[in-house]
Structure 1
Amino acid sequence: MQRAISTRRSALLLALATTFAAALPALAQGDYPNKPVTLVVPYPAGGANDAVARLVGQKMAEGLKQPVIIDNKPGAGTTIGTALVAKAPADGYTVVLGSLASHAVAPHLYGKPGYHAIDDFAPIGTIGLAPIVLVVAKDAPYADLKSVVDAAKAKPDMLTYGSSGNGSPLHLPGELFKQSAHIKVTHVPYKGGNAHTMDLMGGRLDMILDTATSAVPMVKGDKVRPLAVAASQRMAEFPNVPTFAEAGYPGFEVSAWYALYAPAKTPKPVLDRLNAELAAALKTAEVSDKLRNLGVRPVSGSAAELAAFTKSEYDRYEKVMREGNIRID
């Protein structure tokens, strides 16, 4: 009899312990966040990516009621900082500012980037898109996109376009355009910085397919001339500049983009909280207006939508790089 009671007591204690242990993660998630959140930016301080992260992080911190600490971890084409987050604890306290470079290009450009762009991350939400703009020098002889294509077809490989390096977000839109227009244009890679824009303005390059983030201030400063925007609609910043579709290349839409990701296996309630705070931040005029001033179109959405978009971009650029035989410098 005593043995039976003891057995039942042991079983009850075991059941209680199991239930309590199972409840711990839920309790922790319900208390999230109870300490600062680190937002890793795989770029140096001072650039467009850093500005986007600080703007969004500061506003999200108000809703989270915890600081969002920006941690710049540049290097190796964004792979150093991105890999760091892939290996971080999946608790929502370490997230990364993902981009076209980190989640669609670098995984194919580097043999061992230190992470898998799809498998190692849990999407949180999209911040925004920065459409690609084809720009030429102010005194360039090209009046529109057609004149560029005509010149390229008349003199294959004679026209040049510059970028910040092989496999960079400025290189691949050029490859996509070459494939779309069936032209041969010579790519001139630079070692980062703004040397390519200086050479464009100096007439040593024919064109650059740049992000709106970089192009908008140059156009407003009357330093370059935009010929086409790779977006579904014209940009408010240059309403007289046609889209690539309007210029004869339907479906040619290319953008740099910004999004937030957490390590894979981060609990869904935590991801939902981060997504909600991101969406709330993007709805404020303060954030949306400043993003637009950076040439970024705010885009709010679910984690599932970002997951589908990331996979689409990942597959798209894998194909571009394979067909263009693009290799790391």
Structure 2
Amino acid sequence: MTTSLLSRRTFTRLLAATAVAGLGCFGLAQAQTYPTKPVTLVVPYPAGGANDMLGRLIGQKLSEGLGQQFIIDNKPGAGTLIGATVVAKAPADGYTLLVGGFASNAVSPILFKAEYDPLTAFEPIGLFGTAPMVVITFPNSKYKTLKDVVEAAKAKPGEVMYGSSGNGSPLHLAGEMFTAQAKINLTHVPYKGGSAHILDLIGGRLDVIFDTSTNSTPLIKGGKVRPIAVSSKTRMADFPDVPTFAESGYPDFTVNGWYALYAPAKTPKAIVDRLSVELQKVLKQPEVIEKLRGVGVAPASGVASELAKYGPDEFAKYTKLIKDANIKAD
């Protein structure tokens, strides 16, 4: 091999190494100056709900920490797919983020025809909260425990009715998971969103609802419904007398609403890391912890690697459940 050839190869390798180092420095420089303009947080739900409130809370605190405005952009529709698709197709520069979770990143892409793959379309920034499911009934219901529900369902299969906000909703999936684990037959009564299912439960026209803690907590505190079990690992601080599913004999029941922050795929790692670090700081603020817990949400860590594992695990779990139970969307 000639000296000139060796020199050319050495020069090429040095050039490549320099280019890689340059990209790394560029990404670091981006992170150090980011953000230099307002950041859009896409919430794939209408204004006024729990997801919107949580997105605004996190956005406000990120704005305070990073010194730029975080603008909430509500883009509801198609089971959250409209908003999530906007973010999946947005420039990967850290200026368009998704307040995602259970529907957008685990369930809706299975039930509907999504234009994105939830496992590859986003960079996980961090999980910021989880909301356990709560089995609720009306105040004077004969069902005091999960055991009561199961025994009634076994005595008269199909007679016990549980309501939900629609086919494929978290409430429906929770009910299907429980019926499979308890080996019982409950009749699912789907509603077209809104609060009609809650009104029918309060009126005694439904037996139970597997509801999210974000929705059920104010109803329980107001005395409109009565909780009989929660899906959290330990009892909820607000309802210390309500047993967990595990305590009630169903340790494998793990259905939770969850809330997370995502960026489009290929967003520079340095920017994702900076957002994740800032999110972790936000989630340690006493005011944020209090507000999250006030609506039945347990604060998470905000660590990107945790979300990188949690999201795919949830997607795999619901892919199996939806297939096994032959669940179809409305």
Q: Percent identity?
A: 57
- Give the TM-score of the pair, scaled to structure 2: 0.92
Q: Is the 8 A contact 2:110 2:319 kept in 1?
A: yes
Indicate how the Cα distance of structure 1 residues 70 and 209 shifts in structure 2: closer, same or farther if over 3 A, else same. same
- Aligned alpha-carbon RMSD (Å): 2.0
Counterpart among 24, 27, 30 of residue 28 in structure 1: 30
- CA spacing shift, 1:191–1:19, aligned 2, 3 Å: closer
Q: Where does 1:256-295 land on structure 2 (aligned, <5 Å)?
A: 256-295=257-296
Which residue pairs with 1:169 in the alignment? 170
Amino acid at match of 2:80: T
2:58 corresponding residue in structure 1: 56
Superposition pairs of residues 79-228 of structure 1, within 5 angstroms = 79-110=81-112, 112-228=113-229
Pairwise CA distance, 1:249:
1.1
Conserved 8 A contact 1:231-1:252: no
Within the candidate set 67, 70, 74, 2:69 is matched to 67
> Please, what TM-score do these two structures have when normalized by structure 1?
0.93
Letter in 2 for 1:198: L
Aligned letter for 1:55? L
1:101 match: secondary structure: helix
SS of residue in 1 equivalent to 2:46: coil
Structure 1 residue 117, shift from structure 2 partner: 0.7
Deviation at 1:30, TM superposition (A): 2.8
Contact 2:31 2:274 in 1 (8 A): no
Structure 1: how far apart are the matches of 2:204 and 2:106? 31
The 3-state SS of whatever aligns with 1:170 is helix
Evaluate the alpha carbon distance shift between residue 222 and residue 24 of structure 1 in structure 2; reply closer, same or farther with a 3 A threshold.
same
Q: Which runs of 5+ in 2 are unaligned?
A: 1-10
Q: In the aligned structure 2, how far is the partner of 1:36 from the partner of 1:244?
A: 43
Other structure's SS at 1:283 match: coil
2:164·2:172 contact (CA, 8 Å) conserved in 1?
Answer: yes
For residues 131 and 207 of structure 2, the distance between their equivalents in structure 1, rounded to whole angstroms, comes to 22
How far apart, CA to CA, are the structure 1 residues paired with 2:250 and 2:123?
A: 34
- Alpha-carbon distance between aligned partners in 1 of 2:140 and 2:229, rounded to the nearest angstrom: 16
Aligned length: 318
The residue identity in structure 2 corresponding to 1:284 is Q
How far 1:26 sits from its partner (Å)? Answer: 4.4
Please tell me the residue identity of whatever aligns with 1:72: N
